[in-house]
Structure 1
């Protein structure tokens, strides 16, 4: 009895004789004698072409079969994006693949992972299906990114998110903060021209403007700190202590000017600088306090003498006016009497003479009684 094999419209058959592939079979009904060694392997065209226990290369010599297959040969340095009717299906790693190009149209996008950055034609919507085959990096809005392949600098990256294929090339992105930054120098010991050792607290603000230049400098912040330290030593060492205390603002202006002279070599722009504190040794502080106290006492004495002189001059002017004007003299008598009355409860006057003479007599008597 013949063996009947029916191949549906969504299927294809592979005819084998004595285990060897002979040809492909189109949809239809096939009868085989039980006395032959023929066998038919039925394949669903909606599934990948993958005959069980057979190498794919065995079938690639059949030109008739190849007309219905889409072959994807992925090299060691490649990935391949597989699409069916324009819709992404999967990512193919190195190897050889075949798909029935019958009911669906299979297409492929070849990716050379020796250039790991995603090409523009890669739709980011397929990322969830690429898990494990790519890596991403993000450069913040206030940052600049520097791209390296195998530790070799490639280019500067603007803010955004970047995707790279995993493969033989290692990818690294270093980011630099472009916002305004502050460098604090605290407790820096410096000797003035007159051999006074003091401690200086200094601050400066800067911003990176050339990321590539800044990245060329090893231990960037340490080197900027040393630059600031040397400029301060250079300037403060030419000043005496009194000049230094008097010229704090000039120090900041000089240091900022010198820093910006060097800024091009560091890829930065220095925005401002200033002296926060000048800390003196204890003995120097005591001496300065003594000097300051003596200066204030001298100023107080000058003010006291000036007030005494003004008061005496005022009395002289008053006496002159009283001598020239009898009415003013009489008013002064009354003013004098008013002041006495504020201090004394009762006053009795007897005898002759004018009022001022009697009051003087009264005061003389009271003074003698004391």
Structure 2
């Protein structure tokens, strides 16, 4: 019993030393090793890593692309519309030493930075731009995040705005605005059509007035159209010139 009681603590110490010395890192992991508090220039791994107990410590860093869902943010657009916007960001660690040394918690820091950047960037745009130019806004947010997280050894690969939620009262106001805009466009198109028709009629009148035969042919064509109409009404078209000629020869009473 005495030998067994001594053997158990010895085995425990050996197991502790083995687990402290031998570390295995997966293919997507890197280890930042601190030797008496100092960090090396490069991270170690993947594979088998041997540490000196009580002198060296190691912190694992995941090098895979991480997906973070940015919580819904209250944003006031440039045209004073209150909306709720949420997004998703894709980022990964490209320098594990910086990710450990330069920032306390790179995941939390990236998340908070993404929230503030989302609010500041979208607040500079109107609601229509948020809804119609998402690709441009995604690119702008991604560039800002990537520039600010570079010092942490973080690479922001992509940012996607997921939802832009508008209050119901604002939805009704936007619908009225869209309806008014459509009505304005319809009136403009109708006015442009009238203008083009008037221009063509003026051109046609100039051609007919310059060619007497053309006016006569048009007169005969009009008679043919009237003859094809099966009604009891008989209409004889007269041009203004003919009416003026008839009035000129009309004897005075």
- Alignment TM-score, normalising by the size of structure 2: 0.64
Give runs of aligned pairs for residues 195-234 of structure 1, distance below 5 A.
Answer: 195-216=80-101, 217-234=103-120
Q: Aligned pair 1:326/2:212, yes or no? A: yes
Give runs of aligned pairs for residues 210-289 of structure 1, distance below 5 A.
Answer: 210-216=95-101, 217-237=103-123, 241=127, 251-289=137-175
Give the Å deviation of 1:226.
0.7
- Which segment is superposed worse, 212-221 or 323-332? 212-221
- Cα distance in 1 between the residues matched to 2:79 and 2:215: 65
Give the Å deviation of 1:317.
2.4
Q: Which one of 272, 297, 307 corresponds to residue 193 of structure 2?
A: 307
Unaligned runs of 5+ in 1: 1-75, 78-92, 94-111, 118-135, 348-357, 363-370
Report if the CA contact (8 A) 2:94-2:153 is conserved.
yes
- Cα distance in 1 between the residues matched to 2:65 and 2:160: 16
Q: Which has the larger radius of gyration?
A: 1
Report if the CA contact (8 A) 2:110-2:149 is conserved.
no
Give the Å deviation of 1:156.
2.5
- Cα distance in 1 between the residues matched to 2:209 and 2:235: 18
- Alignment TM-score, normalising by the size of structure 1: 0.47
Give the Å deviation of 1:224.
0.9
Give the Å deviation of 1:299.
1.2
Higher strand share: 1
Q: SS where residue 157 of structure 1 aligns?
A: coil
Report if the CA contact (8 A) 2:75-2:83 is conserved.
yes
Higher helix share: 2
Q: SS where residue 21 of structure 2 aligns?
A: coil
Q: Aligned pair 1:177/2:62, yes or no? A: yes
Aligned length: 222
Give runs of aligned pairs for residues 67-216 of structure 1, distance below 5 A.
Answer: 116-117=21-22, 137-140=24-27, 142-146=28-32, 156-159=43-46, 161-162=47-48, 175-192=60-77, 195-216=80-101
Q: Calculate the aligned-residue CA RMSD, in Å.
A: 4.5
Report if the CA contact (8 A) 1:201-1:278 is conserved.
yes
- Cα distance in 1 between the residues matched to 2:18 and 2:72: 53
Unaligned runs of 5+ in 2: 1-9, 238-253
Q: 1:284 to 1:339 in 2, by over 3 A?
A: same
Aligned position for 1:297: 183
Structure showing greater relative contact order (alpha-carbon pairs closer than 8 Å, 6 or more residues apart): 2
